Amino acid sequence: MAALIMVRPDRDWQSSGGLFDWTLEYLIPRVSDEKTADWLRTIVEENLGMLWIPDLPDDTQAEIYDLLRAGVVAAAAHELPPAAVDQLRELVALTY
């Protein structure tokens, strides 16, 4: 199943459902807002396959961008195949 993260209003990232879930599972324990963490859990648990970051509060958007930039690629390099790591690099690039 394909999945989608709308990173910015004019920038989206598509991936496999597995990589999408991995990305949200990376964010869940790191995001400071519990309501956002709960929403991310729901997206994964209900297999919704879509996240619209621009719909979140501005502070939460900024935090998610910072979290992705700061460590998602490094974390993925220890757990995922190189092609998945490359896709996450593309996601990070869209946050700028």
CA max distance for the chain: 33
- Kindly tell me the burial class for residue 24, based on how many C-beta atoms sit within 10 Å of its own C-beta (0-12, 13-18, 19 or more): buried
Closest CA to 91 of 34, 38, 12, 28: 12
Q: What is the mean pLDDT of each run of 10 residues along the chain (96 residues)?
A: 94 97 98 97 97 97 98 97 98 98
Report the domain count for the chain: 1
Q: What is the model's pLDDT at position 1?
A: 75
Separation in Å, CA 10 to CA 6, 14, 22, 28, 36: 8, 13, 23, 24, 22
Task: Show the domain range for 61.
Answer: 2-94
Q: What is the model's pLDDT at position 3?
A: 97
